[in-house]
Structure 1
Amino acid sequence: MLKSVMGKHRLVLEDDFRENFQILAIHCAVEPYKMAFYLNKYLQLRLKRRRTDLEFSKDGLEVQFPLFEFENTANYTVYNLVSNTCKSATAHTTASGGLFELNTSEEYVTTYLIPEYKKVDYFLKITSEHDQVSINTLLSEVNKIKSIISSYLIDSEHIKSKNNLIFN
């Protein structure tokens, strides 16, 4: 009688889907389309709003973050500009005690794309196959824009909600 001994097979799944990107935090109180315009003008980018915004379902709310993109095929670099905040209106309906009377109230809820950076207005994500993008030069140019209060580089390893920055 032959016994077949089956060995144990263990599959190890490694997180090999790591994107090589750099991210700039931008503090600026202008509308998203205006922020894209300023970056296009001063950085010679061609950011365009994508047909579909970045959409999430969080705490029963459907939230959308404006998303702009420019793919520089000559340098194999993709630039994404995304707003960090989304303001959504929620309606609350309560009975007021009468037979046909209902009170409705509207409340605005602010949702953050990256909650650990609540004070940041925009993120500029730079994905490059090569390390050709000079971040110091880029930061210098971004900080020259008068409407921008400040901008700085964020270490992507310190972002807890990094999955929110996957736009594909």
Structure 2
Amino acid sequence: MGAHKLILTDDFAEEFLLVAIHCSEEAYKVAFLLNQFATLHLKRSKVDLEYSNNGLEIAFPLFDYEDEMRYINYDLISNKCVAKSARVVSSGGLFDDENISEMVTTHLIPEYKQVDFFLKISTDAPSVAIRKIVTDINDIKQVISAYEVDTEQLKSKNNLIFD
């Protein structure tokens, strides 16, 4: 009997477009502005995007919108999360243990530490007006800049697969 060989191809890659947004506003305000100026209907997801990094539990706020007529999913995700790290330091005495806490900033996409938010656009349709979306976002007064990110060059692309 001959040996059967199965070859597994890497077909798990999710195709999406990514827009980087530089804005100093809070996540809910950015979602509101995108709804108002970019004609999206983003709503806060019931579940935040949660990760565990070096013992810290990190939650990134997530806003999503599914355009059922055009088969497009929009996800607005914050790139920065500030978490409080706590540790106990013993000074060698009987009662002198100290609790030290510090604020730790974690990035969802570490290659783009300056970016405040990402707008992930997932679709099977070949034509998405990405330039119009970027132009609409750049027209918002509170947004410093917005531009498309090449997803093929991202090292931490797996952090954006959260469906």
Q: TM-score, with normalisation over the residues of structure 1?
A: 0.91
Letter paired with 2:68? T
**In the aligned structure 2, how far is the partner of 1:139 from the partner of 1:57?**
32
Spell out, residue by residue over 1:135-166, the C-alpha distance to the aligned partner (whole angstroms, 9 max, x if none). 11111110001111111101110111111111
Segments of 5+ residues of structure 2 without an aligned counterpart are none
**Cross-structure match for 2:152:** 157
Segments of 5+ residues of structure 1 without an aligned counterpart are 1-5
Helix, strand or coil: the match of 2:5? coil
**Cross-structure match for 1:94:** 89
**Cross-structure match for 1:109:** 104
Q: Please report the RMSD computed on the Cα atoms of aligned residues, expressed in angstroms.
A: 1.3
Given the alignment, which residue of 10, 14, 18 partners 2:9?
Answer: 14
Helix, strand or coil: the match of 1:37? helix
Within 5 Å, give how 1:29-68 maps onto structure 2. Answer: 29-68=24-63
Q: CA deviation at 1:109?
A: 1.0
Q: CA deviation at 1:10?
A: 2.1
Given the alignment, which residue of 119, 127, 130 partners 1:124?
Answer: 119
**Cross-structure match for 1:85:** 80
Equivalent pairs: percent with the same residue?
51
Answer yes or no: is 1:138 the counterpart of 2:133: yes
**In the aligned structure 2, how far is the partner of 1:7 from the partner of 1:63?**
51
For the 8 Å contact 1:28–1:149, the answer to whether it is kept is: yes
Spell out, residue by residue over 1:37-61, the C-alpha distance to the aligned partner (whole angstroms, 9 max, x if none). 1101101111011111111111111
Letter paired with 1:112? H
The structure with more radius of gyration:
1
